[in-house]
A and B are shown apart, each in its own frame.
Chain A
Amino acid sequence: MSANPIGWDWRTCKVTGLTVDRSAERLIVFNAVTAVLYLAFGGTLALLIALTRWPKMHLISNAEWFYRLVGAHGAAMLIFWILFFEVAGLLFGGSILLSRRLTAPKMGWLAYVMMLVGSLGVTYTMLSGQATVMFTAYPPLKASALFYGMMLLYAVGALVAVLHFLVNIVTARLQGQVRTLPLFTFALLVAAILALFTLVSGTLAILPAFLWRLGVIDHVDPAAYRLLFWGFGHGAQQVNLAAMIGIWYALASLTMGAKPINEGLSRFAFVLYVLFIQLGSMHHILVDPGLSSWARGLNASYFMYAAVMGSMIHAFTIPASMEVAARERGHTKGLFGWLKSAPWGQPAFAAMIISFVMFGVLGGISGVIMGGIQLNMIAHNTLIVPAHFHMTVVAGTTLAFMGMTYILVPLMVRRDLFLPGWARLQPYLYGLGMLLFGIGMGLAGHYGVPRRHWDITFPSMTQLSGGVYDGANIHWSLALMALGATIAVTAGAMYIVVAAGTVFIGRKNDVPNIGHVEASAVTPTDPNAPVHHPKGFEAPGTMMLATGFLVLFILLYGWSWFELSKVSWIIK
C-alpha cells in the first residue's frame, strides 16, 4: 500500500499487507467484544425460553419472568448483538480495509459509550420488571420512562456510529484515498444508508412514547406507532441483509478466491434495496397513518418484490462467482466438481455457505410467502413469525457474522484461533440446531400456536380452551424446537469460547493461522487480464442449483395458497 504514514499510530498486517490504524483496531475490538457478550447473554435466555415453550418441560414456572426474558432476549440479540457487531464492521470497512486512519475516532468512542449505556439501561429496565413490554413496546402497554430514554440513547448512539462511517467514506473520497469502493465496502455503505432511515424512524416512534411516559403528552396513537416502529423494525432487517450479503461476498473472495462475475449487476442489486425498501416505508407514512392502509398494503407487493429481486440476484451471483473461480483453478469435473473442491473444513467457508443456504431456502422463501397480504392471515403472530426470522437473522446473519470473525478476529488481535477443532465443527452444529429449531417452531406455528405465549395448555381455563393445542403433532413440533434450541445454544456457546479465547488467551502470533485464504482476495491482480467467457454457461452448476431453488420456492408458494384455501370461514 502507500508509503508509511506519519503522525498516527499504525501497523502493517503481515498477512494482508493492509495498513492498520491502531485506534480503529481498539474501537473495533471493544464493539465486537461487547457484541459477543450480548450474544452470550441472549443465548442463555434463548435456552430458558425455548425450554419453557415446550409444554412437557415448561421450564420457567413464573409467567412474568418468562415475558421479561423473551423481551430481554429479543433486545439483546436483535438490537444489541447485531448492531454492535455491525458497528465493528463499519469501522473496519471505513478504515482498515481502505488502509486509512479513522477521520474522527472520538466520534466512534462517543457512539460506543452512548450505545453501551443505552443497552445496559434497556437490559436493566427489562430484567427489573419496569419494561415487560417486549422489544416492540407497543403503546398503550406501559414501560417506565427510563426504558424509552435508554432506547433513545441507544438509537442516537447508533446514529452517531453510522454518521461516523459516512464521514470516513466521504473524507476518504475527498482526499482521493479511494475512487470506486470495494464491493464489500459498498455493501456496508448501502447498509449505512438504510440504517440512517431506520434509526430516524425508530427515534420518531420512541420519542412520543417517551414524552407520553414523562407526562408531556397524554396519548400516543397505537397505529401510528406501529407504522413508525416497523419503519425501523423492518428496515433494520434490510440493514442486516445488506451487511450479511457483503460478508458473503467477502468470505467467498477470501475462501474461494471468488470475483463477482458481473460487478455492475451485483451493485445494481444492492441499489434495489436502497430504492425500494425506503419507498416502502415512506409510502405507508405519507398516505395514511391509520391501520387500514397498512393492513391492505396494496403497495407492499411491488416494492417488496423489487427488493426480493435484489436478493435473488445475489443468490445467483455469489455461488456463480465461486464456481467460476474454482473452475479457473482446474476443478472442472461435472456440474458440481467445483463444490467438492471447496474448503469445507475452513470454518469461515462453512459458516458462509450454511448461512447462505439456510437464509435463502428457509428464511427467504418463508418471508416472501408471509409477506403476501392474504397469506399473512395464516401466519401473523403465530410461531411461524419467529421461526421465519430465526432463519434470517440467526441462521443467516448471525452465522455469517460468526464466519467473518473466524478470519478477522485472529488478524485483529494477532493471536491464533483458540480451539480450531471446535471452530471447524461449530458452523455445522449451529446450522443443524437452527434447522431443527426452525422446522419445529414453523410447524407449531402452522398448527396455530401463538408466539410470545407462556402456557398454551391453559390449565385454569379448560372450559373455554377445549384443549385447543393438545394435539400430538403440536407436542412433537415443540419438542423438536426444544431439541434444536439445545443444539444451537451449545454451538453458540462453542463460538463464544472460541472467540473470547482467541481475544484473551490465544497464542500470540504476528502471522496467525486462519486456515487457507486465497491470496487473490487481497492482492490486486492485473487489471488488464481479460475475462474469458466460455461459449455455454459459465456457471452451469450454479444454474442447476438456482433452478432447483426456484422450483422449491414455487412449490411452497403454491402449497401456502392451498393451505389458505382450507380455512373454513369465508373472510371478505
Chain B
Amino acid sequence: MTDPDPESALDARPGLQKRTVYEMGTAPVSAEVGAAVFDVEHVDVRYGGNLAVRDISLRIPKGEITALIGPSGCGKSTLLRCLNRMNDLIDGASVEGSIFYHGENIYAPEVDPAEVRRRIGMVFQKPNPFAISIYDNVAFGPRLHGLKKGLDDRVEKALRQAALWDEVKDKLNDSGLALSGGQQQRLCIARAVALEPDVILMDEPASALDPISTLAIEDLMRQLRGHFSIVIVTHNMQQAARVSDRTAFFTVDMQKGIRVGELVEYDRTETIFTNAGDERTEAYITGRFG
C-alpha cells in the first residue's frame, strides 16, 4: 500500500477526499510526527444529539505507541472507537469531521466499515473471548476473511506474538473462557493480531488485570511496537509513561453546564510528563487534578 505519488493516487481513487491541511499551530498537534497512520481532523462526536467530544485534531504516528489519557468521561473511548468505526454500532452516535487512515478518509461514504475494522484491530477493556476453543478464537478473524491456508501457523504466530503460546500450546482445544483474566486478554490480543492488522486499538486493556499481567501486556506492547501502530487508552499514568511514545491529554470542558471532551495537549510522552505545556496537563499528571 505504498503510493509513489500520494496526491495523484488520492485523486484517482473514488470516495477519497483530499485532506485539508490545517495551519500549523491552530491544532494542538505535535509538529514532528513523521509518517502518520491516522490524521484526525476536527472530529466532533455526538451521542443522540449531545456533543461528547469537540474538535479533536491529531496525527497518530506509524509504528509507535500513542497513549490517550484524561479524566473519566473526557471521550478517550469515544475517540478510539472512531478510529475503526466501532461507533457505527452504537445507536444514535454520529461522527463529524474526517479521519484519514494512510490518507484515506475512513468516513467516506464508499468505505466499508467492516474492511476498516479488519485492518484496524481492537482490544476491549473487558476481556471478551468467544465461548469457543482457544484455537478457534484466534482463527476466528482469519476464517471470517477466508484466510484458511496455513491457519495453524497463523494461529501459532499470533499466540506467540501475544506471549501466550507457551501457556496454551498443549490445550488449544480448551475453551477460551477457561483461561485466567490476564490470559484471556492476551488471547484477545492474539485474536486481533492474527488478522495482521496495521493498527491495534486498546481501550484500557489492563484495567481488569493484576500488576503482573499488566506488566506482561505492557511488555507485549513494546514487542509489538514497530510491527503495528498502537493506540492505547489508559487511566494509569505510569503505564502511559512506561509504554507510550506519544501522549494525548484530554479533559472535560464544563461550559454552560454541558460536559464536552476536548484535546488539551498532544506531544512526546517525555515532554508531556516532564515539561507539559498546559497547566491542566501537569495538574492531572501530578495528581493535582480539579
Q: Do A and B bind each other?
A: no
